[in-house]
Amino acid sequence: MRVIACGAGLTLVNVRSGVLGGDLPFTMGHEFGGVIERLGDGVSSWHVDQRVTASFHLICGHCVWCASGRETLCANLGGVIGASMDGAFADYVIVPERNLVAVPDGLELGIAGVASDAVATPYHAARARARLAPGQRAAVIGAGGGVGVHMVEVARAFGADVTAVERDPVKVDRLRELGLGTAILAEDGMTGTALADAAGGQFDAVFDFVSTPQTIRQGVDALGRGGVLVIVGASTGTADGIHSIDLINKEKSIVGSRYATRAEIQKSLQLVADGNVSVHIGARFDLPQIQDAFAAITSNAVFGRVIIDVCEKS
């Protein structure tokens, strides 16, 4: 595949540090959009010049999880593109046929690449894990992050009344400027009860993109009856102070959410193409400026995602 553009976010910081595995040297980049340049032997379901993005999970496609539509739990996961194998910060990337997802006409390939992760991950969290329904109340903790802001967008597209929770006052102001639901500044020590009170009531779903012991407790305490806390942000922390009797009496749930299926990526791309979800791009860099892009990401200087333009835009 000829790479047109590739998104970049905090996940790549974990890739660089080795948290996601991989043996050096390798080329990073997994939120890519491009054009098929050449087909491998036996490939018949795709064609040259087709506009595509892809799932970056190296799934097997035949285990019980893949066969049942839950490929994010693939029993034979071979790692990820951009760590376990070379990624898309390059002119070309080799992609397994089963990973490809077609990009709708009219959708810019750089935007499609970002959406394949930053929109698809929230889509999976909302649809498969929270089963979010129109009219429900949802909170997004870490709503000013590169994926968190798209969680707000997706939850709104699902018809939820959304509260965006963010500890950075600059990002709170930005969320308010964009009109993305109610934006609340999460002060240090804010309890879940205080969060619910500030938002005007408890929540049916809380999506946690920070996932510290504090935010997990905050999320559980902010839930109403039958509420679901969806943990999306990667963290190794554990949470004390969660009372089992509260989970039992109010039938609260705590679930994890991992990336998205290819079908969910396709649905996410269509939401963007139809104008139901906006993709927020804070900065664009050409490939030779990749170090400047990482500096912008690690310094928290960008609201939304970063795009690395590799070839001419398409």
DSSP the chain: -EEEEEEE-THHHHHHHTTT---SS-----EEEEE-----TT--SS-TT-EEEE--B---S-SHHHHTT-GGG-TT---BBTTTB--SSSSB----GGGEEEPPTT--HHHHHHHHHHTHHHHHIIIIIS---TT-EEEEETTTSTTHHHHHHHHHHTT-EEEEEES-HHHHHHHHHHT-SEEEE--TT--HHHHHHHHTS-EEEEEESS--HHHHHHHHHHEEEEEEEEE-S----------HHHHHHTT-EEEE-----HHHHHHHHHHHHTTSS---EEEEEEGGGHHHHHHHHHTT--SSEEEEE-SS--
**Structural domain boundaries, residue 303:** 2-119+279-309
pLDDT tier, 12 (very low <50, low <70, confident <90, very high otherwise)? confident
Residue 248 in domain: yes
Sheet with strand 51-54: strands edge to edge: 100-102, 51-54, 31-35, 2-8, 305-309, 281-286
Residue pair 53/94 in contact (Cβ under 8 Å)? The answer is no
pLDDT tier, 247 (very low <50, low <70, confident <90, very high otherwise)? very high
User: Which residues, in sequence order, are CB contacts of 218 under 8 Å at separation 6+?
Assistant: 141, 186, 190, 191, 192, 195
pLDDT tier, 22 (very low <50, low <70, confident <90, very high otherwise)? low
Residue 266 in domain: no
Residue 68 in domain: yes
How far apart CA 282 and CA 266 sit, in angstroms, is: 23
Give 105-125 pLDDT, tens digit per residue. 999 999 999 999 999 999 999
Give 138-197 pLDDT, tens digit per residue. 999 999 999 999 999 999 999 999 999 999 999 999 999 999 879 999 988 899 999 999
Q: Are residues 100 and 168 in the same domain?
A: no
How far apart CA 24 and CA 236 sit, in angstroms, is: 24
Q: Are residues 29 and 142 in the same domain?
A: no
Residue pair 149/304 in contact (Cβ under 8 Å)? The answer is yes
Residue 19 in domain: yes
Q: Are residues 10 and 97 in the same domain?
A: yes
Residue 152 in domain: yes
pLDDT of residue 9: 85
Residue 269 in domain: no
Residue 186 in domain: yes
Q: Are residues 155 and 210 in the same domain?
A: yes
pLDDT tier, 95 (very low <50, low <70, confident <90, very high otherwise)? very high
Domain with residue 159: its CATH number is 3.40.50.720
Domain with residue 76: its CATH number is 3.90.180.10
Q: Are residues 22 and 46 in the same domain?
A: yes
Q: Are residues 236 and 198 in the same domain?
A: yes
Q: Are residues 114 and 139 in the same domain?
A: no
How many other CB atoms are found less than 10 A from the CB of residue 169? 11
Q: Are residues 246 and 149 in the same domain?
A: yes
Mean pLDDT of 248-271: 96
Q: Are residues 115 and 138 in the same domain?
A: no
Counting every residue written for the chain, the total comes to 314
Q: How many domains are contained in the chain? A: 2
pLDDT tier, 226 (very low <50, low <70, confident <90, very high otherwise)? very high
